[in-house]
Each structure stands twice: as structure tokens, then as C-alpha cells.
Amino acid sequence: MGVFTFVLRKSGAEWTAKQHSGDIEDSASSTYDLQRKLVNAARAADSSGAVQSSFSFVSPSSAVFQVVVGGAVFVGGGAAAAAPAGGAAAESAAAPAAEKKEEKVEEEEDEDFGMSLFD
């Protein structure tokens, strides 16, 4: 498994990329073209399996691009997408119960002072 991390910078109309810790460098007129070139360069350096990539702008003129070659790749994202949704539903159902408990605690604290708002 190989992980390739690139720092991208825009100078004028051209995007350039330099590998964070390595020798791969490239340039292109758009981030899309540059990503394609960098994936091909990473595949040439390590052809051990499937490719996953991640791109994030840091500013309008700089970005970070990471290519992972090999490793675990999950196919059929439906099951993976369903799991977080179920977890989120359980959390949202638990949230109102937690709020009710907090309300009860506040009422008990009022009684501890020996006075009530309704007296």
C-alpha cells in the first residue's frame, strides 16, 4: 500500500504539484487535469491495487491531494451509508430523553433551596 500526499499551488493560470515527501512533481492548467496526472504517477510508482484519492482546497490558490494505492477498498457503499444513518437516528432519539432528564434535575435543584417558583 502506498500513500502519496501532494501540495498543489496555483501560479498564474497553472497549477503545480509537489509530493510532500518524495520526488513526484507535475503541473497542469486545471486541478482536475493535475489530479489525473498525479494518480497516474502514483500508480506508476505503486501498482499494488485499487486507488482512492482525496482533494481539499486550503485557499483559492493552494490545495492538498492525497492518493492511496492498495489497501482496503469498500465496494457497495449502500451498506456503509446505512450504518451512519442508523446511528444518527439512534442519537437523535436519545437526545430528547437526555433533555428530559436535564429538566428533572433542574426541578429537583429548585426544591433543594426550599422555595418554589409557584409559591
Residue 113, pLDDT score: 60
> What topology does CATH give the domain 1-67?
Double Stranded RNA Binding Domain (3.30.160)
Which residues of the chain carry a pLDDT beneath 50?
78-92, 110
pLDDT in tens, 18-38: 999 889 999 999 999 999 999
Helices (H), the chain: 31-45, 77-112
Task: Give the Cα separation of 106 and 93 in Å (integer).
Answer: 21
72-78 contacts, C-beta under 8 A, 24 or more apart:
73/49
pTM of the model: 0.58
Task: Give the Cα separation of 45 and 69 in Å (integer).
Answer: 10
Residue 87, pLDDT score: 47
Where in the chain are the domains?
A: 1-67
76, with CB counted inside 10 A (0-12, 13-18, 19+), is exposed
